[in-house]
Structure 1
Amino acid sequence: MKIIKKPLLAFTAILTFAQAGLAAPHDEVTLIEKPVKISGISGIQGFIGDRMSLNRNTYLKNFPIDRYVDFVVNRKHTAWDWTSAEQHGKWIESAYLSALQSGDKELLAKAKKELYRIINSQEPSGYLGATAKDYRSKKRPIRGMDPYELYFVFHAFETVYEETGDKTALKAVEKLADYFLDNFGPGKNEFWASKTLRSPENKGKVLSGQSDFAGHSVHYAWEGTLLCDPVARLYEITGKKKYLDWSKWVVGNIDKWGGWDAFSRLDSVADGKLGVDKLQPYVHSHTFHMNFMGFLRLYRITGDKSLLRKVEGAWNDIANRQMYITGGVSVAEHYEHDFVKPLSGNIIETCATMSWMLLTQMLLQLTGDTKYADAMERLMINHVFAAQDAEKGSCRYHTAPNGVKPAGYFHGPDCCTASGHRIISLLPTFFYAESGKEFYINQYVGSHYDGRDMKFDIEGNYPADGNITINFRQGTDKELNLRIPAWCKNPTARLNGKNISGIEPGSYLKINRRWTKGDRLELSFPMEERWIMREHHADYEKYYLKDGEIMYREKPTQNIPCAFLRGPVVYCVDMVWNPQLHNDDCDILKDIRFDISSLPASIGKVDPTMMAGCFKAKGTYKGNPVDLILTPFANIGQWWRNGEAKPQPWADSFSYGIWTYPMKKKLK
């Protein structure tokens, strides 16, 4: 048995497609980790399995997709609003993935029907968006939000082809790409951030308003250039060099179109000389993530390491300064300066959660560095489901660490409701990966895996419990890579009853052997319970850009809040589960104090729907001693009390908070 304790940090030597089976035939860089087919994962258990079922059976199946496909097929849209025209792409991809993973034939048939309604509406030119034909012309071939809306159509059709082999979907997405190639390129239309400013007059100009072809002007063309990602993906699928050339042309012009040299200055971010927020006057998180994925795809295709370096540098800066305790990112949809991360308000957008998770997954695939899988775990088990309404499955636009509910769960359909169901449907693609003779387990969600030569079950109730068992039903010669979480101080592992030594947190435990039916791996990740104080805390003051984008200034404060964690699970005080306070929408930072001189007492689950066990802590409410119940932040999607009348959907009926202030003196 060979055990390798160090994480895999560099990309491996380039292998041919036939040797590795990992990269498209046209890629220079082989993925270290390639996700397994989603259809090979079944029986997802526990809290995550329940919430995925809610997403599939309650939200996706009941979503009025016919109405939104009608909106596209009728093609009469001329307004700026994009929320109606981005539903169909995200829903198609979500529905296909959910149906294939769960074996839901009813949902799969519905998804295929809607897919073909869209395909059959495609114009001979290849256009497949919602914009009216009489609005478009050779000089104005698209509406300003078309690239953003169609980004998800591109990816949906490409996913359908890769998962099912549907060549009709592939043909349709090629025609759509050709529409952009015919209308955008050297000597044709370009993705200028302004309706009027051109290079070099646009250099360093602060913009507002709307662009003709690249979304909001305040995004400085990146809302058009994001198409570099799905078009480069099409090159990987087809090998047609025109798609690669077009994607490279797009990326090569970001500096010119935006006027701020933001693409080139990513090197300064990688050098640690610049924060990602300084790249231009407004750095929209979700839009940047989508472009970053395009850069990584081009790195994979071309081997240009400078692209990987740019994205790794940006990721590190964001993770170090702008990532919240739950793994979520974005402040009022953008990245702020320094460590500015307000606790409440328009914080942690669901669209940004989706694209941050996907970007992090791409970096994991390319580098094999477990820090990315650790970040994904934190986001998956804390913030993804906190954004999901526990009754209907809809996802909030923003899910602040401290906030109120149920207001926020009931809106849309809009960009974030659609991004929420998309990321939940994608979750199984993050569990396992393979690489020739190597197999990776990155997320320990109870489930069954049935691959071509490996079959096993993951048992346990992680993260409610840190004990995990992997039972093999079929195996072969493989090097099994088991992610050992960086947060766990004393992990242990046993293979067929024998202890494995030398396990190192924050790395892969790599076991090389012939796996056979009956093999049993037992992992234990003891979960430390701890109070932590918030680092770089400040009070904040809002101000606004010309078009209403929210920005923040810091205000110094001597009050530092605390939070409670058990392992990777973040807890909060939620008024749904604290009726003894008799003030359901209390001001948590003002009225509640915790005694952090001792750890809270474990009380098990206060409700069967909880992700993990709950705790009872000592504290005060408005100065009076009180016991306070702490529940997993992932469960804030329950906005009613069992046995009581439910509040109105738009009410601010219950407050919750991860962060509270500690008592200045210990309770007697």
Structure 2
Amino acid sequence: MLRNNVTNMNISGAIGDILTANEVNWVQTVLEKNPGLFDAFTDPEHNDLAKTMWHGEFPGKILSGLAQTYLLNNDPKTKEVGDQIVARLKEAQQEDGYLGPWAEAVRFNKDVLSDPENNWGKWDTWGQYHCIYGLCRWYQITGNKDALEVASRALDCIYNYFIAGGNTFASQNWAECNFSISHAFALMYEQTGKQEYLEAAEYIVNEEWKIPYRDFYTKTMLACDWLTGVEKNLAFYEMGQPRWEGLHTLETLAVLYRVTGKEVYGNAMESLWWGIIEHDRHNTGSFGTGEGANGDPYGDGSETCNIVAWTSFTIDYLKMSKNSYVADELELSFYNASLGTLLENDREFTYMNLSSGTREPALIVLEGHSFEGGRDMSCCQANGNRGITQIAEWALLTDSDGLYLNYYGASDIKTATASGNTVSLRQETEYPKYGDVKITVTPAESEEFSLKLRIPAWAENTAVSVNGEACQGVQAGQYYEIRRTWNPGDVITLQIDMQLHFWMTETGTAKVSAYYGPLLLAFQNNESLRPTTKFTISELKNAVMKDEDDCLAAFTCKTNTGKDVTLMDYYSAGKDGSSFVTWLSSFRELETISFDKEGTPIWNNK
């Protein structure tokens, strides 16, 4: 199993500029501009705030993003905000440990029990899951002991009411959301060693997932029953409940596999992940159409929260599988779907991230989520920063044998080997604009370990050298392992093959998505360029890079009628609200690649 020992990415370059701007404009101002964020938590019995069913999630989502943001550059201002959130949650926590915004008479499942025919319930344990997750991660990264104490007391309150008290989590309804507390139980078992937490996590996965509940969307009784779906070899979209929220409780499988070694959990995780890749991963790297899986990888649009949950689920699977292609998928999601949620002002996030169209701020589309003293609050605005900073969770991972480098980009990442030896990997590069990467390895003490470099599946002709000596046997789609005694100042150089590659639609009108390395390319609509504008593959292959300062990468190419057009990276194409297109009308000049788990990825057609 891989673990994240990173303490500071020291991220810089173009990506560092983007993430730092969001840190300054959103993260470090969120409490100042939303002074009522904790009001419903502090006095759940006597407040008349307009609350959505998921009101309790907002502080936790923000703190989860703050924890990752702090790993980017260890900015003390960000730590101050995170510590303030912990202090406010500690102050607001009720005597019995309850950490939500709901009055005693309606907390947990009590509103449903009082009127089961007419009351759909709410997302109480869902909201507390996000708070507990954020508190746990903040403790792990900063050592803030109050965070762990608040998280433990909240989880004990939930355990006492549901497990010890004989109430089912499914009785709250919205089980695809409320079951997510299983992930908190599993993670907190790993952190504290409390056996009852492990037992609760396994109980939810093995028993509660099977319990039918009243589903709001279908107006029927259904059971999530994902493990049975795996046994029947179903894809996620074919199962009882395919909404995006379910991915958070499904993350429990990875933790349970890690702590128990039971193959049923690992096999389920693998089956679910590959099923989503085959049927529901879009060209941007996002998951699902709208707010869930429907079996259509060409569906247009995924909610920002979908992307965050999918990335988190994929990080878990990467740590379990050690499969470099999973890291390729994380890179695809980061540069396109995740960055694409951030708008031009570096503060606001979008609700729905389309493959083609325009991006609208969540603050406008989801304005109904907000409340007095929390006008910035919506599910996607609170979650967006977590999405764009999730690279801190997969950039550089550790196992008992060494390090796995997954993220390429200007940075100076600090981590530790399994022995506890601190190591710095300083990257000098303009990746993903260019493929040249220089990595200087600086261990605190010379040590023999393996450094595994991710060679992307699309980068067939990548070259690697160590201290000027060329390495042999570099293969795309695998980790390239360099095992040696590493000394301060050792230098690795990579020339990553950045040639264009494509995803050709399988049926219907011929359309193609073009990729430069991990970057999905798009053009902006105008009076002379319409979504129906056609391109030939040969002209796309002849695209010439432009020197554009406001893009991660941009190219000039011609349409099939000879018009000049600028193709730019997906993030840059839509951040200012411009209408854009990523599925380019084309001709069937390439043979379609069908999904094959062991074969060439469908987006690596050349």
TM range (shorter): 0.7 to 0.9
Would the aligned equivalents of 1:619 and 1:663 in 2 still touch at CA under 8 Å? no
Change over 3 Å in CA distance of 1:402–1:409 after alignment to 2: farther
Q: Secondary structure at the match of 1:616?
A: strand
C-alpha separation in 2, matches of 1:341 and 1:176 = 41
For the residue of structure 2 that corresponds to 1:133, the secondary structure is coil
How far apart are the structure 2 equivalents of 1:140 and 1:188?
17
Residues 55 and 263 of structure 1, relative CA distance in 2, 3 Å threshold: same
Is the contact between residue 358 and residue 580 of structure 2 (CA under 8 Å) also seen in structure 1?
yes
Closer, same or farther: CA 95–441 of 1 in aligned 2, 3 Å:
same
- The CA distance in 2 between the partners of 1:605 and 1:266, in whole Å, is 48
Match among 158, 166, 169 for residue 180 of structure 1: 158
Query: How far apart, in 2, do the equivalents of 1:493 and 1:313 lie?
Result: 33
Q: AA paired with 1:150? A: Q
Residue aligning to 1:638: 575
Q: Which residue of 2 aligns with 1:123?
A: 94
CA distance, structure 1, for counterparts of residue 190 and residue 471 of structure 2? 41
Do residues 288 (structure 1) and 233 (structure 2) align? no
Which residue pairs with 1:328 in the alignment? 286
| Other-structure match for 1:107 | 78
Q: Which of 485-494 and 60-69 deviates more?
A: 60-69
For residues 493-532 of structure 1, the aligned pairs below 5 Å read 493-532=464-503
Match of 1:465 in 2: 434
> Which residue of structure 1 lines up, in the alignment, with residue 593 of structure 2?
none
Partner Cα separation in structure 2 for residue 56 and residue 411 of structure 1:
23
| From 634, 648, 655, the counterpart of 2:579 | 655
Give the superposition deviation at 1:335: 1.0
CA distance in 1, matches of 2:387, 2:4: 15
SS of structure 2 residue aligned to 1:599: helix
Matched, 1:431 2:402: no
Distance 2:108 2:580 in 1: 51
Q: 1:141 to 1:340 in 2, by over 3 A?
A: closer
Distance 1:228 1:604 in 2: 48
Q: Write the letter of the residue equivalent to 1:236.
A: E
For 1:6-21, list aligned pairs within 5 A.
none
Q: Residue in 2 aligned with 1:214? A: 173
2:396 and 2:509 map into 1 onto residues whose CA distance is 43
Residues 1:328 and 1:237: Cα distance change in structure 2 (over 3 Å):
same
Q: What is the rounded CA distance, in whole Å, between the counterparts of 2:109 and 2:485 in structure 1? A: 61
Q: Match for residue 341 of structure 2?
A: 387
Deviates more, 1:77-86 or 1:504-513: 77-86
SS at 1:41 equivalent: coil
For residues 564 and 612 of structure 1, the distance between their equivalents in structure 2, rounded to whole angstroms, comes to: 13
- Among 356, 365, 381, the alignment partner of 1:417 is 381
- Answer whether contact 1:90 1:419 (CA < 8 A) is retained: yes
1:91 pairs with 2:59? no
Give the secondary structure class of the aligned counterpart of 1:61: helix
RMSD between aligned alpha carbons?
Answer: 2.5
Q: Which amino acid aligns with 1:423?
A: G
The residue that corresponds to 2:450 in the other structure is 479
Shift of 1:600: 5.6
Which residue in 2 is equivalent to 1:397?
351
Q: SS at the partner of 2:354?
A: coil
Q: Is the 8 A contact 1:350 1:397 kept in 2?
A: yes
Q: Is structure 2 residue 235 aligned with structure 1 residue 264?
A: no
Preserved contact between residue 385 and residue 637 of structure 1 (Cα < 8 Å): no
Within-5 A mapping of 1:26-425 = 31=1, 33-37=2-6, 39-42=7-10, 44-63=11-30, 64-75=33-44, 76=47, 81-82=52-53, 84-136=55-107, 139=110, 144-185=122-163, 188-192=166-170, 213-215=172-174, 221-251=175-205, 252-258=207-213, 259-260=222-223, 262-268=225-231, 271=233, 274-280=234-240, 282-285=241-244, 287-337=245-295, 339=296, 341-343=298-300, 347-406=301-360, 410-412=364-366, 413-425=377-389
Question: Post-superposition shift, 1:240?
Answer: 0.9
Q: Percent identity?
A: 22
| Alpha carbons of structure 1 residues 421 and 263: separation in structure 2 relative to 1, 3 Å | same
Q: Distance in 1 between matches of 2:353 and 2:303?
A: 7
1:561 paired residue among 511, 515, 537: 511
Matching residue of 2:559 = 618
Deviations 1:193-252 (A, max 9, x none): 6xxxxxxxxxxxxxxxxxxx132xxxxx22221110011111111111111111222122
In structure 2, the residue matched to 1:10 is: none
1:582 corresponding residue in structure 2: 527
Contact 1:66 1:114 in 2 (8 A): no
Larger Rg: 1
Equivalent in the alignment of 1:594: 535
Give the distance between the partners of 1:429 and 1:616, measured in 2 at CA.
36
CA contact (8 A) 1:619 1:627 kept: no
1:572 aligns with 2:513: no
Q: How much has 1:368 moved relative to structure 2?
A: 1.0
Contact 1:561 1:659 in 2 (8 A): yes
